[in-house]
Chains A and B, each alone.
Chain A
Amino acid sequence: MKRSLALWLPLGLFVAFVALVAIGLLRPADRTVGTALVDKPLPQFELPPSLPEGQGVRSQELKGPLLLNIFASWCLPCQAEAPQLTQLAKAGVPIVGISVRDRPEAIKAFLDRHGNPYARIGADDGGQVQLALGSSGVPETYVIDAKGRIRHQHIGDIRPEHVPMLLDKLKAAQ
């Protein structure tokens, strides 16, 4: 009895190994890198305006509830989320933009085409503020509360189904 069990053991181990590999292949782990700064204060930064006629962004002035939207004119999902940002801005949500690795002419063309929901836009040409915020791509949207803390990070474009969730988070951030 004991001997036959020992005989089957390698096969059992092999089946378990195959199952493990299959699970890993069929359901790959989620590799989105979220910021570790949720529920922490915004890092200190100061950005010049992205557009010559606009205002820059200083972290001390970011007392919410508001949305901090990291975007770029060269990013396609940013175009996809533009209608939702416009909708949020119309609902009275202050939206502050940070343009990453971009140029004024390109940003202006982008806003002319897709609408400008931003109260102000800061130019992060070197991408250093993006790194300070723990953001790993564009677009990303941070919910900032009344004390200037990060309460939520939304990674990727804001789709219509995300709007109520963001409004809830903003309400909770008062």
Chain B
Amino acid sequence: MNGLRAILFALLALLAWPAVAQEMESTAPYANQQLVDPAQEAEAQALMQSLRCLQCQGQSIADSDAPIAGSMRSLVRERIAAGEQPEAIREWLIERYGDYVSYAPRVTALTWPLFVLPLVLVLVAALLVRRRFRRGDRP
């Protein structure tokens, strides 16, 4: 009877194996703990909303449950608590991972047409509209 029970327990323990195999939680101190100063926490939150999680790439590190996102949140909070500017932290990450890590658009040699083109289109539209209105004035 005891033997049977032992076997049953062993089988049940096997069922729990996937839980054992899962990734360890981040042990970074501020992964899931807010900063004490609400102003600093707000600053950290704003930055975390605009940084990409490197593992689940559609999410921000504020939204992601991935362990590496926890490490990144802790990095952001620790540096903000140490008095660093949010944009300096963003720069630090871009230096290591490239522009892709940041959701905030930057004007670079590659991206400037995205910013200029809408202005050009609005100008062209204004010109077209002006010509139309003038024509309408005449008769």
Contact = CB atoms under 8 A, between A and B. Distances in A.
A33 B72 CA distance: 15
B72 A131 contact: yes
A127 B70 contact: yes
Nearest to B31: A126
Interface in B71-117: 71-72, 74-75, 93-98, 100-101
B38 to A, nearest CB: 24
A91 interface: no
Interface in A91-150: 101-103, 106, 125-128, 130-134, 136-137
* Chain A, interface SS category: loop
A31 interface: yes
B97 A35 contact: yes
A33 B100 contact: yes
B70 A33 contact: no
A126 B75 CA distance: 9
Contacts of A102: 24
A126 B74 CA distance: 8
B35 interface: no
B97 A134 contact: yes
A101 B27 contact: yes
A126 B101 CA distance: 19
Nearest to B53: A136
A101 B54 contact: no
Q: How large is the interface on A (under 10, 10 to 19, 20 to 34, 35 or more residues)?
A: 20 to 34
Given A136-B55, A137-B55, A35 B96 contact: yes
Contacts of B26: 101, 126-127
A127 B93 CA distance: 14
Contact of B96 (A127, A134, A137): A134
A88 B63 CA distance: 39
A127 B97 contact: no
B28 A126 contact: yes
B37 interface: no
A136 B97 contact: yes
Interface string B32-61: 000000000000000000000011010000
Contact of A126 (B23, B71, B94, B97): B71
Interface of A: 31, 33-37, 72, 74-75, 101-103, 106, 125-128, 130-134, 136-137
Given A74-B22, A126-B74, A132-B96, 16 more contacts: A33-B101, A35-B96, A36-B95, A36-B97, A37-B95, A37-B96, A101-B23, A101-B25, A125-B27, A127-B74, A130-B71, A131-B68, A131-B75, A131-B93, A134-B96, A137-B68
Interface of B: 21-29, 54-55, 57, 67-68, 70-72, 74-75, 93-98, 100-101
16 contacts: A33-B97, A33-B98, A33-B101, A36-B98, A37-B95, A74-B22, A101-B23, A101-B67, A102-B24, A126-B71, A126-B74, A127-B70, A131-B71, A131-B72, A131-B75, A137-B54
